[in-house]
Amino acid sequence: MRNSVFLQACRREKTAYTPVWLMRQAGRYMPEYRALRERVPFLTLCKTPDLAAQVTVEAVERLGVDAAILFADILLILEPMGVGLEFSKGDGPVIHRPVRSGADVDRLVESPPAETVPFVFEAVRKARAGLPAHIPLIGFSGAPFTVASYLIEGGSSRNYIETKRLMYQDAGVWRALMELLVRNITAYVNGQIAAGAQAIQFFDSWIGCLSPADYRAFILPHMQSLFAGITPGVPVIHFGTDTSGLLELLTEAGGDVIGVDWRIDLDTAWRRIGHDRAVQGNLDPVTLFAPRDELRKQVKRVLHEAGGRVGHIFNLGHGILPQTPVENVVALVNMVHEGSEELKVENEEEEKIP
């Protein structure tokens, strides 16, 4: 496992080629997954370790990626808190008892994740046992702000009005909610690590709705506390979307690897983050609908922007879309491996020229 190209890149060590894995690499674009979902509801799938592990491992086998990511959902830790979580068909997650006051925070049930979501840790153990020895397993959680936004809005949102209203109106309630989420998320991901995860990714998918000033005031201290509590020695990926205005703050918050979406050139983002961190990204997921020649061109562009530096993990800027042709995803993985090997040879040849 120490020789895994993914873990080497996380540690900013030299790799034979650029490692690649993809967010939502087990998902609705795969016929095998759709067939399973016709028989099994989403929450049931998440809560059945054998099936969650099966989906996790099948994606690696189908795509040839360099890391697996556990099949789960960022909101699983909320259901035991008594908020009435439901996944409704076509509408996504719904929180029936949203949190919008101090009294709402006080009624949240706080219990150890080992007692409330043991199926997640069992899925980690089973997935780890089912994966090839050289393929790391990435555990994950939603970051506090993104989890809180679902908890407060009651589901998905466009403008996050209720979330920001609470944040601005009552700093004490906001702090109490953040501290509760940090405690639970820390225990949750450390439990995944203890069960066999070799890396962790924090999904802060909606953090881009905040200004830099609000991030610094309301989010940064809590993210720093979260990173400080993670089991030492395990690489942590800090991912968000629409974060071009927040890159320096995300780096200050923590993470061995900073995820970058497609709204900024990779080389520009890396300069702002600093080359003492690894970087993950950053192809637009919609590029996977392009003709193969264009897809190859876009892959090469990202690889050239990485410049052959140590510490680049190829990924999309967000998850694979459900309508994506699976054969294009397989082609993408091959293009990254082949293209990065070719680029490495080219760079070595250039270095030999006096």
Q: State the DSSP string of 169-188.
A: H-HHHHHHHHHHHHHHHHHH
Which amino acid does the sequence have at 196?
A: G
Neighbours of 137 (CB within 10 A): 25
Using alpha carbons, select from 137, 161, 159, 354 the residue that is nearest to residue 235.
Answer: 137
- Residue 255: half-sphere exposure toward Cβ, Cα within 13 Å: 29
Using alpha carbons, select from 8, 24, 27 the residue that is nearest to residue 16.
Answer: 8
Q: What does the alpha-carbon distance between residue 192 and residue 205 come to, in Å, rounded to a whole number?
A: 20
Peptide bond into 282 cis (omega under 30): yes
Among 12, 17, 24, 204, which one carries the catalytic annotation?
Answer: 24
Residue 263 catalytic? Answer: no
Are the CB atoms for 114 and 191 separated by under 8 Å? yes
Neighbours of 338 (CB within 10 A): 13
Among 73, 204, 256, 261, which one carries the catalytic annotation?
Answer: 73
Q: What does the alpha-carbon distance between residue 324 and residue 322 come to, in Å, rounded to a whole number?
A: 6
Strands 85-88 and 199-204: unpaired
Residue 160 catalytic? Answer: no
Residue 106 catalytic? Answer: no
Using alpha carbons, select from 203, 206, 115 the residue that is nearest to residue 152.
Answer: 206
Residues 6+ apart with CB under 8 A from 290: 298
Residue 175 catalytic? Answer: no
Copy the structure tokens of residue 80.
Answer: 């035991």
Copy the structure tokens of residue 163.
Answer: 């979330």
Among 17, 29, 33, 150, which one carries the catalytic annotation?
Answer: 150
Copy the structure tokens of residue 68.
Answer: 């697996």
- What is the residue whose two structure tokens read 């905040």? 210
Residue 73 catalytic? Answer: yes
Copy the structure tokens of residue 309.
Answer: 């530096």
Copy the structure tokens of residue 117.
Answer: 């979501």
Catalytic residues: 24, 28, 37, 73, 150
